[in-house]
Amino acid sequence: MEGRPDRREDAMHADVTPATPVTPLDRDVHRPISVAELFTIGIGPSSSHTVGPMRAGFDFAQRALGRDSPPVGVTCDLYGSLALTGRGHATDTATVLGLAGWEPERIDPDDAPTILAAIDRDARLTLGGTLPIGFAAGDIVFHPREFLPEHPNGMTFTATLTDGTAYAETYFSIGGGAILRKGAGITAINIAVRHPFSSGADLLAIGDATGLAIADIVRANEEAWRSPGETDAFLDAVRRAMSACIDRGIAQDGVLPGGLKVRRRARALSAGLSGERPGGNPAEVFEWVSLWALAVNEENAAGGRVVTAPTNGAAGVLPAVLRFYETLIAGANAEGARTFLLTAAAIGMLYKKRASISAAEMGCQGEVGVACSMAAGALAAVLGGSNRQIENAAEIGMEHNLGLTCDPIGGLVQIPCIERNTMGAVKAINAAYLALRGDGSHIVSLDAVIETMRQTGADMRSQYKETSLGGLAVNVVEC
């Protein structure tokens, strides 16, 4: 499980664009989505390449253990983007942890190296945490030149059973840590929300008819899943996790794992700003915002505890803009933070319904671009913006991220990913204030920009969609 393949060599020897273009899985734009689906607390460095595969491995282990004949061995084949950047994104180790019965919400990131070392040493893992089976590094197989037709992030698990038969399942990691099992489709959720919406136009129409702000529309819908008090508790937990990630990232020092020898910068940047409180020197405001985003994404790159918002690769944007609100805006309070997260979730839901938040499908416009759009709308909301100003801010946040590629050097979520979050946070703040200077009327709607992002992602060559076979990934020599 050690080492990383040379992506420049892969790029020279093959155009990985599939002979048959990968077709995104069908999405039900009317399926209700909860804030708990947009914001999950897990581990880095990637929601689609780490969190998703861990969940897939866990799910397969439970299914294999439920067969009439017990498993004696398990293999996993990784395809497409999961294979091309899997080592740098810890896909292989995350898959092993999932098979061993660990879930991203439950595992302590500090314990993972010890668990993995024991599996390597003994050539055995405890499937689902209950059944010891033989397992070696070679049981994770990478297929970098092969894409499954349904999605760029495909993986197939095969269990050998004691009766000599095999049991296999294929999964797709579709972004934000969400997974789909082949053949199961998107599970129909028999939940009726109070204010169903599948577009920005729907949100505005509901607001006009009811007088509700976008955050209140989402809050009302969440009652289909849990009580208002439970929703507040969930939002508060997300806010605490985001804040803790910032503080933890600022406190750390040293070199990030993976071989690029990227040094953490948040601690030094914080020390350089420590003479001024945030906002004390207006010229330093964006440096503080950049610090907060940098801290989160350095923690993510190190495999730390982060909130997918809406993905791990873009995990720093929302926390940085939320702290901007909490630190620099007079009157900021806990209810405002909840409004921020509920508004951001509404916008994120639209991207999940109508396009994708997977960089393997959309490029980084689907990650940092979406996070920027969410944060822009959320900040406009807590600054007193109308629904139309919020929608405008979200549109501006994406409009100026269209075409953003995903080209991580060495397949690691480090360069340009960490700095890209600082840019996304600053851009979100700018978008919010631009929207608030208007009356909410604008020519390009949020729905139009989401559809444009979808079309742009569909047209983008696979080299620029989380394969590390184009862009900076091949034009910068790894040190």
Question: Which part of the chain is CATH 3.30.1330.90?
Answer: 45-181
| CATH 1.10.4100 assigned to 200-464 | yes
As a CATH number, domain 45-181 is: 3.30.1330.90
| SS3 annotation, the chain | CCCCCCHHHHHHHCCCCCCCCCCCCCCCCCCCCCHHHHCEEEECCCHHHHHHHHHHHHHHHHHHHCCCCCEEEEEEEEEEHHHHCCCCCCHHHHHHHHHCCCCCCCCCCCCHHHHHHHHHHHCEEEECCCEEEECCHHHEEEECCCCCCCCCEEEEEEEEECCCCEEEEEEEEEECCEEEECCCCCCCCCCCCCCCCCCHHHHHHHHHHHCCCHHHHHHHHHCCCCCHHHHHHHHHHHHHHHHHHHHHHHHCCCECCCCCCCECCHHHHHHHHCCCCCCCCHHHHHHHHHHHHHHHHHHHHCCCEEEECCCCCCCCHHHHHHHHHHHHCCCCCHHHHHHHHHHHHHHHHHHHHHCCCCHHHHCHHHCHHHHHHHHHHHHHHHCCCCHHHHHHHHHHHHHCCCCCCECCHHHCCCCCHHHHHHHHHHHHHHHHHHHHCCCCCCCCCHHHHHHHHHHHHHHCCHHHECCCCCCHHHHCCCC
The reported pLDDT for the residue numbered 10 is 41
Per-residue pLDDT tens listing for the chain (479 residues): 433 334 333 433 344 444 334 445 556 788 899 999 999 999 999 999 999 999 999 999 999 999 999 999 999 999 999 999 999 999 999 999 999 999 999 999 999 999 999 999 999 999 999 999 999 989 999 999 999 999 999 999 999 999 999 999 999 999 999 999 999 865 545 789 999 999 999 999 999 999 999 999 999 999 999 999 999 999 999 999 999 999 999 999 999 999 999 999 999 999 999 666 787 888 899 999 999 999 999 999 999 999 999 999 999 999 999 999 999 999 999 999 999 999 999 999 999 999 999 999 999 999 999 999 999 999 999 999 999 999 999 999 999 999 999 999 999 999 999 999 999 999 999 999 999 999 999 999 999 999 999 999 999 999 999 999 999 999 986 54
Question: Which part of the chain is CATH 1.10.4100?
Answer: 200-464
